Structure 1
């Protein structure tokens, strides 16, 4: 198994290290690290080191080689809005490799790089839930997937990043070297077993195509603050202060944009996250209540039943009740959409 890595400007060091270490452990017996069963290298246009998003520079090992000697070329993405990710020479190299049938892998925001090079047309593309809306805005005619760890679509493989890179590496190792080698690699990395591609990303996606658009910048920033503070909810006064507006003005703007008060919307957002955790994790109801910022399990259960028409334990035991979910009194159409689908997130670039 032969893999060539191409690093983007401000690439994610975790993605590179995880993928490369998995190959290293699969390549030799024990942790000898010799490139026997696997070969890997880092290529680039320039001998100048490429800086990772955490500031650690990594230099290429060699210039671009004949792409046909690789099973996969892995584009390691990183910060999305920090300037060009690859130069023209690297992009042309990827296009040449694609024309020659070499497998292309995009990890982290590497999916954006492949899409910008025109290499993901008519293919499903895995993106992080965090950048789902960014991807839709830039590539409205593509097919993003934000509910899986990684997606294999013929000779294009894309991964949301994070710990999912280890799962993808194990999948490729098993494909080429067998399940025993993949299992040994995971165990040395202290991972019980690799998760399948279709397993949900740990945080539920918060953007759905066709959802209601939030135009006001301050409201969109407020939604991001809410989304990032689910466990310890912010007060309306704290959010207003961060947005540099009065509490009264913020509440007015928020109601105009969503049809709800900030507190009602925030509560629905936290309950939706709790709903997702109940369906996609084995955590106790008490743990989920704490994770979603409720003072105790009883409070969480009352609020949850009022919105979804079933208790948290009942949902986990019997599944959701038939028909549309119940709504608390006075909730708007935006909230109804939030109960049945996912909320559209703010534009995260405002805070990057």
Structure 2
């Protein structure tokens, strides 16, 4: 039996229908491993409860179902309320009583955490206005479509903005949980949890998210974040000055990082990123050259054809005829 001790970190989980199991499991396992000595899994230093107004098992996106521990009740008994999202099409289906619970928690000053598309749920409940929000690069465009006028952050693994925390899901949820363990229990407990989970080290919030595969690889975090932004803004490419502003560095510093890391200017790299996407669309879709040009930020088909020929030595249509699409 767990010895009697007041936990230093108390977390309530709300699981959205078809939530992402790995995001929830990574988060809760960091808590489990930090909560006790060794790997004994007793909820001493950390305690967590899965909440549900109906007490019915919640199905994850992979089909595994989680049985809740208790009904929401008083949010003040928790240090954080964590909302774990999943499939985009399911975020509207969070029970109305759960939404009311989140609003009560916000009114009581309990910090709210959005994991994966849990950030979407918090926004939809009106609880992220004025806060920065981290979302996965994969859902960046979905977020822009759903919430006009908001600027999601998709080039970091998690964001802490006062009493709102958010992360992109997957392994990043383990790093956000480790951040909370470090804050409330200590760095040694956070390191222990990650080590047992075979995660080499805790990542800082501003560590870049992995993005779409690119031939351009670098360990430079500034350049990696810039590449993500280039991928996310292909239809309306950012100027070098605007890119530097978004990354909160000077233009000169950004250009120096690109030159040191890739031997190219940001402008040249941006062009390569857009041409790589154009080639991907040529291989994988039947879209016209004009449509692909519009989607990848070229003025028109002629502009894309000229740039493509300069980069690859042939026109887009000629290249398309030589490529066998992947099965």
Q: What TM-score do the two structures reach when normalised by structure 2?
A: 0.69
Structure 1 position 139 matched with structure 2 position 147: yes
Q: How does 1:109-124 map to 2 (within 5 A)?
A: 109-124=117-132
Residue 293 of structure 2 contacts residue 304 of structure 2 at CA under 8 Å; is this kept in 1? no
Give the whole-Å Cα distance in 1 for the aligned partners of 2:186 and 2:30. 14
Give the whole-Å Cα distance in 1 for the aligned partners of 2:208 and 2:99. 31
Give the whole-Å Cα distance in 2 for the aligned partners of 1:235 and 1:126. 27
Partner of 2:177: 169
Partner of 2:61: 53
Structure 1 position 211 matched with structure 2 position 236: yes
How far residue 210 of structure 1 moved from its aligned partner, in angstroms, is 8.5
Partner of 1:74: 82
Aligned residue among 36, 50, 66 for 1:42:
50
How far residue 65 of structure 1 moved from its aligned partner, in angstroms, is 2.7
Give the whole-Å Cα distance in 2 for the aligned partners of 1:165 and 1:101. 22
Cα shift readout 1:308-337 (whole Å, capped 9, x = no counterpart): xxxxxxxxxxxxxxxxxxxx9999xxxxxx
Structure 1 position 31 matched with structure 2 position 77: no
Q: CA RMSD in A?
A: 3.2
Structure 1 position 91 matched with structure 2 position 99: yes
How far residue 84 of structure 1 moved from its aligned partner, in angstroms, is 2.2
Give the whole-Å Cα distance in 1 for the aligned partners of 2:173 and 2:281. 36
Cα shift readout 1:206-231 (whole Å, capped 9, x = no counterpart): 3239927xxxxxxxxxxxxxx9xx79
Inter-CA distance 141–37: structure 2 relative to 1 (3 Å threshold)? same
Residue 126 of structure 1 contacts residue 144 of structure 1 at CA under 8 Å; is this kept in 2? yes
Give the whole-Å Cα distance in 2 for the aligned partners of 1:265 and 1:40. 58
How far residue 56 of structure 1 moved from its aligned partner, in angstroms, is 1.0
Q: What TM-score do the two structures reach when normalised by structure 1?
A: 0.64
Inter-CA distance 256–150: structure 2 relative to 1 (3 Å threshold)? closer
Give the whole-Å Cα distance in 2 for the aligned partners of 1:123 and 1:235. 35
Residue 9 of structure 1 contacts residue 84 of structure 1 at CA under 8 Å; is this kept in 2? no
Residue 170 of structure 1 contacts residue 186 of structure 1 at CA under 8 Å; is this kept in 2? yes
SS of 1:60's equivalent in the other structure is coil
Give the whole-Å Cα distance in 2 for the aligned partners of 1:265 and 1:65. 63
How far residue 141 of structure 1 moved from its aligned partner, in angstroms, is 2.8
Aligned residue among 230, 239, 254 for 2:285:
239
How far residue 261 of structure 1 moved from its aligned partner, in angstroms, is 7.3
Residue 35 of structure 2 contacts residue 41 of structure 2 at CA under 8 Å; is this kept in 1? yes
Inter-CA distance 252–185: structure 2 relative to 1 (3 Å threshold)? closer
SS of 1:152's equivalent in the other structure is strand
Partner of 2:289: 251
Cα shift readout 1:150-170 (whole Å, capped 9, x = no counterpart): 110111001011111111011
SS of 1:167's equivalent in the other structure is helix
Aligned residue among 20, 25, 31 for 2:28:
20
Inter-CA distance 189–237: structure 2 relative to 1 (3 Å threshold)? closer
SS of 1:197's equivalent in the other structure is coil
Cα shift readout 1:116-159 (whole Å, capped 9, x = no counterpart): 00000011011111111221222223331111111101110010
How far residue 265 of structure 1 moved from its aligned partner, in angstroms, is 10
Which consecutive residues of structure 1, in runs of 5 or more, have no partner in the other structure?
213-226, 244-249, 269-301, 307-327, 332-352
Give the whole-Å Cα distance in 1 for the aligned partners of 2:115 and 2:47. 19
Give the whole-Å Cα distance in 1 for the aligned partners of 2:280 and 2:151. 35
Cα shift readout 1:42-83 (whole Å, capped 9, x = no counterpart): 001112211100111112111113111100000000001236
Residue 18 of structure 2 contacts residue 86 of structure 2 at CA under 8 Å; is this kept in 1? yes
Residue 305 of structure 2 contacts residue 315 of structure 2 at CA under 8 Å; is this kept in 1? no
How far residue 262 of structure 1 moved from its aligned partner, in angstroms, is 11
Aligned residue among 198, 205, 218 for 2:206:
198
Q: For this pair of structures, how many residues does the alignment match? A: 250
Residue 123 of structure 1 contacts residue 142 of structure 1 at CA under 8 Å; is this kept in 2? no
Inter-CA distance 110–265: structure 2 relative to 1 (3 Å threshold)? farther
Aligned residue among 6, 30, 51 for 2:14:
6
